[in-house]
Amino acid sequence: MPIDQSKNDPSAGARNAGGTTPAAVKAAKKPKLLPRRRLKESDVNVVDQPMLKKALGGTIVGNTMEWYDVGVFGYLITTMGPVFLPESDPTTQTLFLLGTFAATFIARPLGGVVFGWLGDKVGRQKILAATLMIMAASTFAVGLLPGYAQIGLWAAGLLVLLKLIQGFSTGGEYAGATTFVSEYAADKRRGFFASFLDLGSYMGFAIGAALVSVLQLTLGQDTMEDWGWRIPFLVAGPLGLIAVYFRSKIEESPQFQATLDAQEENAKNATAGDTAAAKGPVGIVKAYWRPILVAMIVVAAANTAGYALTSYMPTYLTASKGYDEVHGTLLTIPVLVIMSLCIPLTGRLSDRIGRRPVLWIGAVSTVVLAIPAFLLIGIGAVWSTLAGLALVAFPVTFYVANLASALPAQFPTSSRYGAMGIAYNFAVAIFGGTTPFIVEALIKSTGNDMMPAYYLMATSLVGAVAIYFLKESANRPLPGSMPSVDTEEEARELVKTQDENPLINVDELPFDTHPHHGGKTPVDA
């Protein structure tokens, strides 16, 4: 008699009743793998060229204003000393104004943290307009300050206060400008367009230096101390109004707008949106401390060379090389102008060969050229001084042209402004603003006029190591953003070649945080 296996096999009843085994039931309960998401034309951002030009123009003006003030204040230190501390000796006057200049950098990190957080929360365009208005107003107000003769030491106190306010607003300016332009530009031309920000920066410095030099030559020292020193600061008023007008016409960057839309959609659907939500300053540091640290070291190396050329070199030429103040200023102007015009070329080069190779050129050339540069300056002739300044400017051109495109690409869209504000401003405050003090102290303590060269070499050696750990970003989408191209034809070609394109990793694209791009929902059902 056949044995009834159903009594001993508990699965038999299930098999007989439903025709399936428990194993089959378990397999049926396993979630089905969704098909790999494919990039569509509606996912790709096509740059609005007229709006890009407006965005670029508005941000360049702000950066120009920032460095215009740096140049103006730095070159007016000896002139403004008798205005605010007439009863003190020249050394005390100079130390006070140098300290006031340093106060700008003390306030920058706080501004970078606050405005960076707000920029990721409410938008880049609004914060950039606010920082520009504060910066222009505080610079203009310096030109209206009464001197010691009118209100005594209160004049010096008000000057420090205005410089603190100015530094606070500047902390949000560069980080926001680089973020804004990087998010507007197409992936393949981001280095070129972002480099225009630093063209504006160094042109602003040159313009400020040139204006001060012209006033010193035409008005004379007595008239400059009387009222002429006010003119360069008052010029910032109309410049600021023009810049604010440009920025008021700019729309929010498309990449950030997509992130805002995604956050709203996630909130409506009660889905997990933590990865897209803007983090506070503490959360940003915890989440991205490694790229922040790398970015800070690269910024420190670049700005040490940059501030040595701009803020310190006029002092070096007058204090150590015997030039008078006017010629110490004038000699730097043609070098700054030529360097500024070359910056977009190195930005374009980074789009072709990569950000890291171009930054390495800046680091290696600093190490190689620093000693020859200061030896040439030490000869004392005008031609040799210009040649030495050119050798200092050469690596700066490769450094600064790529910070604006390389650094924002290290962080996701939702936290980019905040992370940039922290990384850039802390590095500039600690290393950039202190460069004149450190190299001057090294010269005084050792008696060796070559100490600036050794300092630049040391910082660039460390910077070269950090560049190794910097993530290459040329021609790639920004983290947390969809690809960005110049034309519809490029969008179609990108979609067509997405499988063999080594610069596009579809698995890393934020389909789930890009809900309304192109009027369609990218996430497949």
Lowest average pLDDT, out of 87-101, 155-169, 184-198, 259-273, goes to 259-273
pLDDT value of residue 271? 42
With beta carbons less than 8 A apart as the criterion, state whether 358 and 350 touch: yes
Residue (of 367, 353, 354) closest to 470 by Cα position: 354
Q: Give dist(CA 157, CA 163) in Å, integer.
A: 10
Phi, psi of 474 (to 5 degrees): -60, 130
Q: Which residues pair with 484 in a beta bridge?
A: 45
Opening angle at CA 81, ends 79 and 84, nearest 5: 120
pLDDT at 95: 78
Average pLDDT of the chain? 81
Print burial letters for 325-336: b (CB count within 10 Å at least 16), e (below 16).
bebbbbbbbebb
Identify whether the C-beta of residue 233 lies closer than 8 Å to the C-beta of residue 72: yes
At 358-376, the pLDDT tens digits run 999 999 999 999 999 999 9
Across residues 205-227, what is the average pLDDT? 87
Q: State the pLDDT at residue 7.
A: 47
The owner of tokens 């109004």 is 241
Residue 10 neighbours by CB under 8 Å, 6+ apart: none
* Helix, strand and coil in the chain, % to nearest 5: 80, 0, 20
**Helix axes 90-122 and 77-84, enclosed angle (nearest 10):** 100
> What is residue 277's DSSP assignment?
S
- 262 pLDDT exceeds 60? no
Q: Is residue 27 packed enough to be buried (19+ CB in 10 Å), middle (13-18) or exposed (0-12)?
A: exposed
Residue 503 pLDDT greater than 50, yes or no: yes
- pLDDT of 256 > 80? The answer is no
Range from 34-38, 161-165, 426-430 carrying the lowest mean pLDDT: 34-38
pLDDT at residue 231 in the model: 94
Structural contact between residues 269 and 166, judged by C-beta atoms closer than 8 angstroms:
no
Name, of 59-68, 69-78, 307-316, 386-395, the range with top average pLDDT. 386-395
Q: What is the pLDDT of residue 347?
A: 94
**Measured on CA atoms in the order 215, 219, 221, 226, is the torsion positive or negative?**
negative
- The tokens describing 433, both together, are 């603003």
Stretch 209-217: mean pLDDT: 87
pTM to 2 decimal places: 0.79
User: What domains can you pick out in the chain, each with its CATH number?
Assistant: 45-251+274-484 (1.20.1250.20)
How much is the pLDDT for 371? Answer: 95
Residue-wise pLDDT tens digits, 122-147: 777 778 888 888 888 888 999 999 98
> What is the distance between the terminal CA atoms of the chain, rounded to a whole angstrom?
55
- Calculate helix-pair angle for 451-469, 281-307, nearest 10 degrees: 140
Q: Is the pLDDT of residue 118 over 60?
A: yes
Average pLDDT over residues 137-163: 91
Q: Which residues, at least 6 apart from 25, have a Cβ–Cβ distance to it below 8 Å?
A: 14
Cα 192 to Cα 190: distance, rounded to the nearest angstrom: 5
Convert the pLDDT of each residue in 319-360 to its tens digit: 677 777 677 778 888 998 899 999 999 999 999 999 999 999
HSE-CB at 138 with a 13 A cutoff on CA atoms is: 25
Q: 16: pLDDT confidence band, cut at 50, 70 and 90?
A: very low
Helix (H, G, I), strand (E, B), or coil: what is residue 346?
helix
* Mean pLDDT calculated for residue range 284-304: 93
The pair of three-digit structure tokens given for residue 193, joined into one six-digit string: 């367009």
Rounded to whole angstroms, the Cα distance separating 390 from 344 reads: 17
Torsion (CA) 396, 311, 320, 219 in degrees, nearest 10: 130
**Amino acid, res. 405:** S
Q: What is the pLDDT of residue 260?
A: 57
Residue 453, both tokens? 């060269």
pLDDT at 515: 42
Per-residue pLDDT averaged across 477-497, rounded? 89
Cα–Cα distance, 520 to 525 (Å, whole number): 12
pLDDT of residue 29: 53
SS3 labels along 420-484 = HHHHHHHHHHHHHCCHHHHHHHHHHHHCCCCHHHHHHHHHHHHHHHHHHHCCCCCCCCCCCCCCE
- At 66, list the tokens: 């920032």
Question: What is the pLDDT, as a whole number, of residue 268?
Answer: 52
* pLDDT, mean of residues 276-294: 83
